[in-house]
Amino acid sequence: MDNDIILRVENLKKHFQPHLTFSQSITGAKKRKVVKAVDGVTFDIRKGEIFGLIGESGSGKTTTGKLVMKLIDPTEGTMTFQGEDVTHLEKEALKAYRRKVQMIFQDPYASMNPRFKIRDVLEEPLVIHKIHGDRNEREKALIKALTEVKMNPPEEFLGRWPHMLSGGQRQRIATARTLLLNPAMLVADEPVSMIDLSTRAEILHMMKDVQRDLGLTYLYITHDLSTARYFTDRIAVMYLGRIVEMGPADMIIDDPKHPYTKALIDAVPEPMSGKVGVIKELPISGEIPSPANIPSGCRFHTRCPYAVPACSELPEPELEDCGGGHLHACRRWKEI
């Protein structure tokens, strides 16, 4: 089984140090509150699977994605990719890592330089990594990548500018750009959240086809449970920088153990007759607490409808297995 694991993340933490204000730096006050965006996450991603990372805004899922992408350096913890430690990488090793791990960004309108034509956008990874020096070869690679993401006819798009394309088309181009490097893994940070509902399914479909064709592994980051179920093999639910539940997608959605997961699932609107008029009453209330001021004990207890004094007094619960690879971090899961 161990050979199957492409990425192993252990106890990964990212703490941000806020800047001192002017008065603080003069008085030498040390009341800096560390923002614990990611506070010890552990997960494995198997080769060829689609791993979903789910959570509200502020749960640290995007930061986790950036850590995996190595856009930021972790404060603590280790990352192993294809059996090699990639926690801290030097310039050349980092460049090599980026050939294998690529990213699709949330906002397709912002992830391309508006002054680049589609051709320049697509050629950029090839130029950076000095692949296909020959012009014809490069042209062929671009056409192939565009065909892969179902941009037809591919030649027509090369001369266009990003602003001439729709969000869906841009996201296809963004995918094609990553595919040109032949990566082993793709980090997709909410790739469809900014796209029209009507094209979402199409894009996800395309991504799934690409994954099947090329044997890719995805780390799919989203706040949208409905696409997660459709798209992913396994899901990890994040809350305030920690994973609170993890397991096969069907198990998590159909039989959630953690009250937070339950609340998320309940919050999904259903566009069915008889139910549209009812705005659902959520079992949890309030906003996600500040990651600079994490509640003691179980970090969810401030919003948990089932919380008892023990939840805040006892130390933080660890993930435990309840069978079938389904892990959760709730002390009272049997009672609720």
Partner 1 sequence: MSVNPATTRLGDFWTEFRRSPSGVVGLVLLVLFAAVAVLGPALSPYPEAGTSWRSIEYWQDEPANAPPAWTNLFAREKGAVSARLAAADSAAEEGEGYRVERASFAYDFSYDRPPLDLILHFRVDEPAPVSVAIERPDGRRVELVNSTVEPVSGEARISLDKEAGAAVLDFVRGIEPPEALERLDGSSLEPTAILFAEAEPGLTTAPRALKGKYRITLETIVVDGAEPASEPVPPRLAVVGRVSGLLGTDAQKRDLFSGAVAGVRYALLIGFLTALVSVAVGVVYGALSAYAGGLVDAAMQRFFEIMSSMPLLPFMIVLSAIFKPSIVTMIVLMVLFFWTGSVKTVRSMALQIKEETYIEAAKALGAGGPRILFRHIVPILVPYSFASMALAVPGAIVYEATVSLLGLGDASIVTWGQILHDALSGGAVLNGVWWWVVPPGLLIALMGMTFAFLGFAMDKILHPKLRTR
Which residues bind to partner 1, rule: CB under 8 A?
A: 69, 71, 91, 94-95, 98-99, 102-103, 105-107, 110-115, 124-125, 128-129, 159-161, 163-164, 174, 177-178, 181
CB-nearer residue toward partner 1: 8 or 129 = 129
Cα 63 from Cα 57, distance rounded (Å): 11
Q: CB within 8 A of 223, min separation 6: which ones?
A: 54, 55, 56, 57, 61, 190, 193
Nearest to 145 by CA among 210, 192, 205, 203: 210
Q: 102 vs 261, which CB is nearer to partner 1?
A: 102
* Smallest distance from partner 1 to CB 296, Å: 34
3 state SS of 20: coil
Cβ proximity to partner 1: between 131 and 322 the closer is 131
Helices (H), 10-100: 22-27, 61-69, 91-100
| Cβ atoms < 10 Å from Cβ of 122 | 26
Q: Which is nearer to partner 1, 86 or 103 (CB)?
A: 103
Alpha-carbon distance of 167 to 163, in angstroms, equals 9
User: Between 159 and 269, whose beta carbon lies closer to partner 1?
Assistant: 159
Q: Which tokens in the block code for residue 251?
A: 């198990």
Q: How far is the CB of 263 from partner 1 (least distance, A)?
A: 30
- What are residue 13's DSSP bridge partners? 39, 76
Shortest spacing between CB 170 and partner 1, in angstroms: 11
Q: Are 282 and 27 in contact (CB under 8 A)?
A: no
CB of 160 to partner 1, least distance (A): 6
Residue closer to partner 1, measured from CB, 45 or 304? 45
User: Could you tell me the smallest distance in angstroms from the CB atom of residue 220 to partner 1?
Assistant: 16
Whether residue 153 is preceded by a cis peptide bond, meaning omega within 30 degrees of 0, is: yes
By three-state DSSP, how is residue 251 classified?
A: helix
Closer Cβ to partner 1, 146 or 311, answer by number: 146
Helices and strands (H, E) in the chain, number of each type: 12, 12
CB of residue 234 to partner 1, shortest distance in Å: 24
CA–CA gap between residue 331 and residue 336 (Å, rounded): 10
Report in angstroms how near the CB of residue 145 gets to partner 1 at its nearest: 13
Minimum distance, C-beta of residue 98 to partner 1, in the bound complex (Å): 4
CB 184 within 8 A of CB 100: yes
State phi, psi for 95 to the nearest 5 degrees.
-65, -40
For partner 1, give the closer residue by CB, 71 or 308.
Answer: 71
